[in-house]
Amino acid sequence: MTSTWSEFLSQRWSRWLDRRIPRSRSVTLSQRQIFIFPSRTGFFFALCLLVMLIAAINYQNNMSYALTFLLANLFVVAVLHTYANLSGLTITAVSADHAFAGQRSGFHLRFSSTNKRGHNALLVGWPEAKEARRRRRLFTGLLSSPAMIAVEEIDIAPAATLDLVLHIPVGTRGWYRPDRLRIESTYPLGLLRCWTWIDLDFRALVYPTPLVAAEPKGAAGDALDGRWLAGTGDDEFYGIRDYRAGDNLRRVYWKGLARGQALQTKDYASAIADARWLDWEQFSGLDQERRLSALCHWVLDYHRREFEFGLRVPGLELAPASGDRQRDAALRALALFGVTEGSVTS
């Protein structure tokens, strides 16, 4: 029952956040996006003020009254300065690095200050995994900061821009979109904690984990997939060239010599099948994910060895080619195989 209520409240909280702070490529923080609440230090400070006020009332001491109200005013002023430390900050999603499943992807962010005060001691990071958050109470973040990953503390000068890369673990293959980015600060006195959760609109492509497997049979193709190498073999007539000492006499072009031409040699070429094919059916003994991982391994291997290769998976065929563009196209096809359009993990 407790778990059910916790999930219900969590869903309601998420829907409310989606309405209040919708997904966007760029967000400028204002009153609508910023939350502020006393920290543990702030609550202890308020408790001390209460004790001081009771003592001042009990002893009718004017100096105690003055000190109590002075510190209370300090708390009120700290509210304004803590809020101002986040207000006016613009966060932009720049790009996300592609990665292999189980690795870390870099998410590139740009922070821009639009005021003359700057922003100090900002903690930036993503919340911990959902599985770990389920073991915590929904409103843990009110009194203390929830656990975060890829945390960085940054300072931004007035009217300046700062580029930041946060590396976080990605999930299974396909598109990966991180959870809401958390930015918080207790500047300047630590009495209050000001934070925001923003949903930045960017995602990383996660490739299958490369799995070492034996090279598939038939990957080398035939002569039509490769090229012809002149001067070797006896496969096909390639042309006529000048005679060189040591040439096989059976290849001398005697008809030309009979016509009075210079001594020449017939040249032959052999076929070299250097274009490889990677096919879904070549790994029929493996399940879907292991097939994709094995294909991923050989895509990387052929690219490293600068081979031309093509890829055939159900519903898609890439013609043989080489280079970074062919590698990226093949890895993308493997990453998105069977993935529904618009489907993302987080």
φ/ψ (deg, to 5) at 69: -70, -30
Q: Are 237 and 267 part of one and the same domain?
A: yes
Q: How many residues are there in the chain?
A: 346
pTM: 0.74
Q: How many CB atoms are closer than 10 A to CB 333? A: 19
Give the structural domain span for 248: 228-272
Beta bridge partners of 193: 37
Whether 344 is covered by a domain: the verdict is no
Whether 49 is in a domain gets the answer yes
* Same domain? 50 vs 157: yes
Domain boundary (174, 205, 236) is at 205
267 & 186 share domain: no
d(CA 95, CA 165): 9
Instruction: Based on the fold, state whether residues 246 and 324 are members of the same structural domain.
Output: no
Q: How far apart are CA 143 and CA 198, in angstroms?
A: 20
Q: Which residues contact 242 (CB under 8 A, 6 or more apart)?
A: 262, 263, 264, 265
Tell how far CA 122 is from the center of its chain. Answer: 22
Cα–Cα distance, 205 to 226 (Å, whole number):
32
- Same domain for 325 and 311: yes
Domain membership of residue 280 (yes or no) is: yes
Instruction: Answer yes or no: is 253 within a domain.
Output: yes
Domain count for the chain, please give it.
3
Q: Are residues 201 and 243 in the same domain?
A: no
In whole angstroms, how far apart are CA 228 and each of 63, 234, 274, 320? 100, 11, 10, 16
Residue 345 lies in a domain: no
- Which candidate, 306, 307, 301, 305, places its Cα nearest to that of 331? 301
What pLDDT tens digit does each residue of the chain (346 aa) get?
Answer: 556 777 778 788 888 888 898 999 999 999 999 999 999 999 999 999 999 999 999 888 889 899 999 999 999 999 999 999 999 999 999 999 999 998 999 999 999 998 888 899 999 998 765 544 444 444 444 445 556 777 888 899 988 899 999 999 888 899 999 889 999 999 988 999 999 999 999 899 999 999 888 877 755 554 344 454 444 445 555 566 776 776 666 677 666 667 767 777 776 655 544 578 888 888 888 889 999 999 999 999 999 988 899 998 888 888 888 899 999 999 999 999 888 765 666 6
Does 248 lie in the same domain as 189?
no
